[in-house]
Structure 1
């Protein structure tokens, strides 16, 4: 059984929600490590809401 080819990250269509999650991760460099868990939780929430099809709370 052959699997579908996967799409490279650079080839994906623009998605504002995914872009938001990536931007949150990019901001980690500017934060103290103690603040990273809050960012990871926010990214998780954004992506989970995207998969569920709900806008969710981004705060």
Structure 2
């Protein structure tokens, strides 16, 4: 579903490698993964879910 070259690392990812996240917009779905484990699980969501996730992160309402 997600192409290998379509992953983009967050500009907020830490340089020491502890907190790295990447996303991949495949059109019908967006994937989110830990860039330290690219062969690991991918959280897939549709555009509405991705927008809600971004809003929650930007408003800091995601539980930490």
TM-score normalized with structure 2 length: 0.35
Greater per-residue helix proportion: 1
TM-score normalized with structure 1 length: 0.37
Using CA pairs under 8 Å that are at least 6 residues apart, name the structure with larger relative contact order, 1 or 2: 1
Greater per-residue strand proportion: 2
